[in-house]
Structure 1
Amino acid sequence: MLFRVVLGPDNIRRLTVNEALDSVHQLKGILRESLQLTQDFEIQFEDPEFANELCNLSDISELPPEKATLKIINKAPELSDDVSSVSSLDTASVASSQSPTSYPSPSSMPLRRHENSEQWPSPFPIPQFSYDVELRLVKGNEVYRQNGTLLDVSREMKSNILNAICKSVFSYKAYPTKNELALVAAELVKKHPCLKDPSMGTCYDSWTMSLFYKVGNYRHKLKEAGCSEVSVNRRTPGKDGGKRLKRAKRCEVNFLPDIPAGQCQASLQLEKAALMEEMKKRHHNSTFISAKMEMTFSLRRKEIVDEEPLVADVLTQWPALFLEEQVYLEFYRITGVPLKDTFFSSLDEYAPKIIKLYRSRSGAFGEDLKSLLDKLDQKTTNVVLHRKTTALQGLPVFMRENTNSLFKSCLDTDVEDSNLRGTQMGILSVIEDDGATADTVNGNVRCFSVIIEEHIVVDDLPDLPTALALLFGLIYALNLKYPDELKYTFETLQKVFMHLDTNLSARVLSFRNKMLRM
């Protein structure tokens, strides 16, 4: 099919696509790869039924049969309207036009500590201190530049500086690492060189140690004030032996948020009941569900983190959490990162490099990796999608982990329970039973499903990348641990694909460096 692609007033490209197009998502992948598009975008096309006026492309069947003119509209992740305007739509039945990748605006999310979506800013912004401290620092910096004399910092002044920095640090992370605090200390002495350590070394070692202890004291104050995110880690006597609950270790912005102002436990339970009633309807109101899910976020996180319920119980109590759109939104509430946009943008960028890496190293991994590449070479349609699928399927193999525990397949006539039994976390590909076997190379995959704790939690998904993205999002939403036999695979998804944390294990760091050199 021939396309005339309008990227800008002075940038109009001609593109020929030889493979059959099955979806708008597939077309986006081809455009992104062929035209080197890095930003998220929408596609508009000249509709011949409306005198070639531009219309948004929502279904691939809307395109003319042989050639079409497309216009690329770059966009940032959209922000939804303030949810308070729709929270009272208890009986609404109009379908929502909200996109699965439309995220709540920071102003409508009092649960987040900081409106900046960065996990840890680089460089770290040193806050303004009190007027008298800033005045002393200005004069101290002038003296230091003239003759190198360091400022004599009083106890009161040091306390003022540390308190201000601690508040700023907590706006990003409740449990910063010592390396992260060292970066903060480095920025402090860079901005105010008169505060350098007089001793040899990095010139900020003493500030790093002071911040380390000050942040700990600040967390203790927050515990006494009832801050949920730090209180959850307190050791308490009881039958669990004072077990320490999970800290936010996967770059969560809102691991365990407090109840929003103006709400209480009872009012949130009423909102939850209204949400469950809406989910019983045959046709859901997406706007209403999104508003109620955001409003009950703190209640849901408290139940999931404190009570650690089985996934089957969460399915019963919070069925809306397993809608595809809500998985994306919940992940954004927890991390401040758009799951769908970030995951698929990284996959578009990395998949060709990963396939090259697999081909260069296939001999070192036996038949498993070679078999995946052979299957890819046999594909003649949807090549871009199959390349991405192969890149993801090969990750456990390349990480020398158990790929069979993550990716499973069955015929649509198989007994469902036999395929779910013993599966704690995985992706199930359902293949049409036309006399083939479940592992046939050219088997016609009907759909993909996400399995957690022997239950299908999301089904009828169009492709494996979408299913894996949703599984990753549900790990965060349900506060689950990465399976031990797949910890490097999921670390790669977290830190390489989603850019959540830069502290990589040796195995994942080696994979990333080799892949980027391809």
Structure 2
Amino acid sequence: MLFRVLLGPDNARRINVTEALNSVSHLKNILQDSLQIVQDFEIQFEDPDFGNQLCNLTDISELPPDRAILKIITKVSEESDNASISSLDTASIASSSSSAASASSSSNVSPISIPLRQRENSDQWPSPFPIPTFSYDVELRLAKGNEMFREHGTLLDVPKDMKMDILNALCRSMFSYKTYQTRKELEVVAAGLVNKHPCLKDPSMGTCYDSWTTRLYYKVGNYRHKLGAAGCSEVRVNQKRTGDDSRNRLKKARRCEVNFLPDIPTGQTDVTLQNEKAALQEEMTKKYPNHAVVHSKMEQTFALRRKEIVDEEPPVAEIMRQWPALFLEEQVHMEFFRITGVNLKETFFSSLDEYTPKIIQLYRSRSGAFGEDLKTLLNKMDAQITNVMLQRKTAALRGLPLFMRESTDSFFKSCLDTDVDVDGDGVNTRGVQIGILTVTEDDTATTDTDANVRCFALIIEEQIVLDDLPDLPTAMAILFGLIYALNMKYPKELKYMFETIQKVFLRLDTKLSARVQSFRNKMLRC
């Protein structure tokens, strides 16, 4: 059965339920798992017997037979009301770790309201852009103007106050998606405006919206200045830069981060967040840290952590000292979700499952054009008789830089388990800025077989930041999450491999480089 689920005023999800529904509770469980809703909620549906008005769903038989529109109404308790816990009017989209959230509520840990943007789809900038509703008098004038345009082709003469109302409303809508817009994105907004209100078209030849694009260009600059004066972190971080230092890049979201540098939550200050950070550090010194406490305090200190990492750009060794919980495997997934709104583990592995057969087929068809390395990789994969699917996924990932004609000399490293140096100052990590270390068992290799892999470790800035990972796909996913969490650039020698993971596997951005676009097209044709 197909459902359109309304989570908020501008947030709707499409859910296809293939199994037979036997009760309302059954449907609630499915929606909780699919939409990651933590709070208790009620379901309303559009009842065709009453002109599609919303009614509470009390029996599963009340639903229409094939498809239905549902609305989620969360139950907000008095305690959570006092704590200002809310979520886009109706639903709370939580992290992928529901167990951590439930444990948090049972451990006297008070959650906090964090004003984070939510990603509604895989494309950060919508096209066509949803034009907001303007003030009542502006909408009246636009309605009459559109009618005159349809009847006589007459364009509306827009006075200054009306123009300012339109630009202000568009700015507020645009900044809900991102703080720094490109010229092309402004053109999408301008085009959407004149498509919805044709009476606003330019009288001159051209695209019919060039003048609106120019107005938006200057308006967003002024709007950013006002945001900076009001204390917006994502704007102020760039106002602090010295004008004569050309090496400083503009610090902004470049890889579809929806919460690149969030503001401090309402009711909190730097002092209170520093206290929470100190409590988190103390919790991490325990032999067995309380994961619910760690999760809650990582949520509370997200804005402070992003400010330190993005603004101050400390070395990874300092981040490990200040934020040790950030290097827990589950917290890497959580931090990636906070920054992008995308479930790293679920999205990466589902894409890997989907694409691995096509990628392997592509490697086989083109192996002759990529030298012996790709042939050797495929031969080793074919020789495996255990964990065949895992070996195929590993080969698909290891072959990516080879297919992209990139060097992996300083990325894929290996050593024996007797030679591992977790302090990161040994020969295995020396000179490695970003890499994956394969740890093999000593004395298990023969002339005909490879050594048994014991685990994988991640290297960043010559430091082993996380070890004891079970397989290469897991290591690759966690490493990619850390790149976002630490606000790191992709290594130049592997930029196409990481772009493929970001844009093809995780579907973060649809603008692909020519090389990655070629790989994607060839893979999908297999």
1:124 aligns with 2:149: no
Whether the aligned pair in 1 keeps the contact of 2:224 and 2:235 (CA below 8 Å) is yes
Partner residue, 1:410: 415
Deviation at 1:218, TM superposition (A): 1.0
Whether the aligned pair in 2 keeps the contact of 1:80 and 1:103 (CA below 8 Å) is no
Of 426, 439, 453, which residue of structure 2 is paired with 1:430?
439
Q: Distance in 2 between matches of 1:281 and 1:419?
A: 29
The 5-angstrom pairing of residues 101-500 of structure 1 reads 109-113=113-117, 116=120, 119-234=124-239, 236-237=241-242, 243-416=248-421, 417-436=426-445, 442-500=450-508
Partner residue, 1:515: 523
Structure 1: which amino acid aligns with 2:497?
Answer: T
TM-score (norm 1): 0.79
Deviation at 1:505, TM superposition (A): 1.4
Instruction: Determine which structure has greater relative contact order: mean sequence separation of CA pairs < 8 Å that are 6+ residues apart, divided by chain length.
Output: 1
Whether the aligned pair in 1 keeps the contact of 2:100 and 2:295 (CA below 8 Å) is no
Whether the aligned pair in 1 keeps the contact of 2:119 and 2:342 (CA below 8 Å) is no
Q: Distance in 2 between matches of 1:123 and 1:113?
A: 20
1:269-311 per-position Cα deviation (integer Å, ceiling 9, x unaligned): 1111111111112222211111100101111111111221111
Q: Distance in 2 between matches of 1:103 and 1:211?
A: 43
Q: Distance in 2 between matches of 1:241 and 1:366?
A: 41
**Bigger shift: 358-367 or 147-156?**
147-156
Whether the aligned pair in 2 keeps the contact of 1:101 and 1:328 (CA below 8 Å) is no
Q: Distance in 1 between matches of 2:408 and 2:365?
A: 20
In structure 2, relative to structure 1, the CA distance for the partners of 1:481 and 1:258 (3 Å cut) is same
Whether the aligned pair in 2 keeps the contact of 1:78 and 1:103 (CA below 8 Å) is no
**Bigger shift: 407-416 or 327-336?**
407-416
Deviation at 1:487, TM superposition (A): 1.1
Whether the aligned pair in 2 keeps the contact of 1:431 and 1:445 (CA below 8 Å) is yes
Partner residue, 1:78: 36
Structure 2: which amino acid aligns with 1:499?
Answer: R
Unaligned runs of 5+ in 2: 2-13, 20-29, 40-75, 84-94, 103-110
In structure 2, relative to structure 1, the CA distance for the partners of 1:131 and 1:510 (3 Å cut) is same
SS in 1 for 2:466: strand
Deviation at 1:443, TM superposition (A): 2.5
SS in 1 for 2:34: coil
Whether the aligned pair in 1 keeps the contact of 2:100 and 2:292 (CA below 8 Å) is no
Q: Distance in 1 between matches of 2:266 and 2:228?
A: 18
Structure 1: which amino acid aligns with 2:188?
Answer: L
Partner residue, 2:45: none
Partner residue, 2:92: none
Partner residue, 1:26: none
Structure 2: which amino acid aligns with 1:431?
Answer: T
Q: Distance in 2 between matches of 1:174 and 1:440?
A: 57
In structure 2, relative to structure 1, the CA distance for the partners of 1:411 and 1:276 (3 Å cut) is same
Structure 1: which amino acid aligns with 2:519?
Answer: F
In structure 2, relative to structure 1, the CA distance for the partners of 1:315 and 1:371 (3 Å cut) is same
1:386-442 per-position Cα deviation (integer Å, ceiling 9, x unaligned): 1111111111111111122222221112253211111111111111112428x9854
Structure 2: which amino acid aligns with 1:496?
Answer: V
SS in 2 for 1:340: helix
Q: Distance in 2 between matches of 1:370 and 1:379?
A: 15
Structure 1: which amino acid aligns with 2:442?
Answer: D
Q: How many residues align?
A: 441
Structure 2: which amino acid aligns with 1:161?
Answer: I
SS in 1 for 2:265: coil
1:95-118 per-position Cα deviation (integer Å, ceiling 9, x unaligned): xxx96477989x965331457465
Whether the aligned pair in 2 keeps the contact of 1:235 and 1:243 (CA below 8 Å) is no
SS in 1 for 2:253: coil
Q: Distance in 2 between matches of 1:243 and 1:40?
A: 47
In structure 2, relative to structure 1, the CA distance for the partners of 1:365 and 1:73 (3 Å cut) is farther
Deviation at 1:147, TM superposition (A): 2.5
1:176-212 per-position Cα deviation (integer Å, ceiling 9, x unaligned): 2111221122221221122222222222222222212
Structure 1: which amino acid aligns with 2:34?
Answer: A
Structure 2: which amino acid aligns with 1:174?
Answer: T
In structure 2, relative to structure 1, the CA distance for the partners of 1:469 and 1:242 (3 Å cut) is closer
Deviation at 1:142, TM superposition (A): 1.6
Q: Distance in 2 between matches of 1:144 and 1:250?
A: 41
1:357-388 per-position Cα deviation (integer Å, ceiling 9, x unaligned): 11111111101111111111112222221111
1:33-55 per-position Cα deviation (integer Å, ceiling 9, x unaligned): xxxxx9999x9xxxxxxxxxxxx
Partner residue, 2:509: 501
TM-score (norm 2): 0.77
Whether the aligned pair in 1 keeps the contact of 2:490 and 2:498 (CA below 8 Å) is yes
SS in 2 for 1:420: coil
> Identity of counterpart residues, as a percentage?
67
Runs of 4+ in 1 over 3 A off after TM superposition: 38-41, 72-75, 79-82, 98-105, 113-118, 235-245, 439-442
Q: Distance in 1 between matches of 2:217 and 2:100?
A: 34
Q: Distance in 1 between matches of 2:152 and 2:409?
A: 67
SS in 2 for 1:419: coil
Unaligned runs of 5+ in 1: 1-6, 8-37, 44-71, 89-97
Q: Distance in 2 between matches of 1:102 and 1:210?
A: 49
Q: Distance in 2 between matches of 1:126 and 1:470?
A: 38
SS in 1 for 2:432: coil
Deviation at 1:349, TM superposition (A): 1.4
In structure 2, relative to structure 1, the CA distance for the partners of 1:100 and 1:450 (3 Å cut) is farther
